[in-house]
Amino acid sequence: MKILVPNSFSEHGIKLLQKADFQVLTTTVALNQLEQFITTNAIDIIITKSPTSITKELIDACPTLKLIGSTEVDKNSMVTSHAKAKGIKIIDTPFAIANSVAELVFAHLFGMVRFLHQANREMPLEGDIRFNDLRKQFSTGTELKGKTLGIIGLGNIGKEVAKIAIGIGMKVIATSSSIKKEVINLSFYNGTSVAFEIETQSLESLLKESDFITIHTPYQGAVLIGKQEIELMKTGVGIINTSQGGTLDEIALINAIETEKVKYAALDVYETEPKPEIQLLMNPELSLTPHIGGKTIDSNYKVEKEIINQLVSFINNN
């Protein structure tokens, strides 16, 4: 079978696919040329970095396609349903990036509560002349241990976030549209493990009880956390969004920071990617990253491994 993979695929991954009798193509193809490339080369399988690059029109125009895979989790349910109706298998990597995103959540959390995102800007500029002033300014941080973390969405990523939170002594509460109870298993380096049971609760009660809130749900076509939801939160709350742009109302967030309702805020995703609003980029209170939650050397390896295992299983059953 012919398979088109992203040029970011490792040489090791390509060799594993070739060993499994795939004819691997790594050509970089522009989106507007993808249909022609697939049909001209009779591509059976396409692996894409972004699920949004696959459309219903592309599926209809490419009858040779037997499988579509994404190295990011496919949230485009309409396209997925359309592909499945056409007999095309869909695969993604729901487990590979979970720990990577969870660790970024805590990179932001640890940094924010000790004002590292601000100190790292100001120390290089004024650390030699305002050292004592800066020391006083950034000495009012807080600790995460003993605080309550509210997790919105208890899927693969939400569960990994819960593991880290429990491990550092935080109280964990969660809300989910589909899960009523979840057992979180913490495994340690010496082979021991401990199980913690989390019963989910309503979004409203989570908003009221949490010291910090982290979002791990797909975009559902409307804002999940807006002005009304922020008003329910504790004064001085912290908010982290590493899910998808649009789940959090950015204007409401900025307003809440200005009124000091929200004390800490971190964003890895934005409504207007790849050009986030300038008022976000210029706000010194925000801890910002450029949508790197699922991107680490380790997660890239796990993504490839998960994709390859599914592809080998597919070819063995066809």
Q: What is the pTM of this model?
A: 0.90
pLDDT along the chain (318 residues), means of 10: 89 91 91 92 89 83 92 67 90 91 98 97 96 97 98 97 98 96 95 96 98 94 96 98 96 98 98 95 97 94 92 85
Residue 315 has a pLDDT of 83
Instruction: Name every residue whose Cβ is closer than 8 Å to that of residue 30 and which is 6 or more positions away in sequence.
Output: none
Shared domain check, 80 and 125 = no
Are 92 and 126 members of one domain? no
Query: Tokens for 109?
Result: 């959390």
88/195 same-domain check: no
- Do 63 and 204 belong together in one domain? no
What b-and-e string marks burial along 48-87, b requiring 16 or more CB atoms within 10 Å of the CB? beebeebbeebbeebeebbbbbbbbbbbbeebbebbeeee
260 and 198, same structural domain?
yes
Task: Residue 217: give the domain boundaries.
Answer: 98-288
What does the pLDDT read at residue 50?
A: 67
Report the distance separating Cα 263 and Cα 236, nearest Å: 5
Same-domain status, 112 and 228: yes
Strands 193-199 and 181-187: antiparallel
Give the whole-angstrom CA distance, residue 143 versus residue 109. Answer: 10
115 token code pair: 């004002």
Query: Domain check: are 65 and 52 in the same one?
Result: yes
Q: Does 175 share its domain with 110? A: yes
Q: Are residues 275 and 259 in the same domain?
A: yes
The phi-psi region of residue 87 (left if phi > 0; otherwise alpha if psi is between -120 and 50; otherwise beta) is: left
Q: Both 223 and 302 in a single domain?
A: no
Query: Residue 202: which CATH number?
Result: 3.40.50.720
Does one domain contain both 224 and 268?
A: yes
* Res 308: pLDDT: 92
Q: What is the pLDDT of residue 8?
A: 81
Q: Are 7 and 126 in the same domain? A: no
Structural domains in the chain (count)? 2
pLDDT at 53: 75
**What is the C-alpha to C-alpha distance for residues 312 and 19, in angstroms, rounded to an integer?**
10
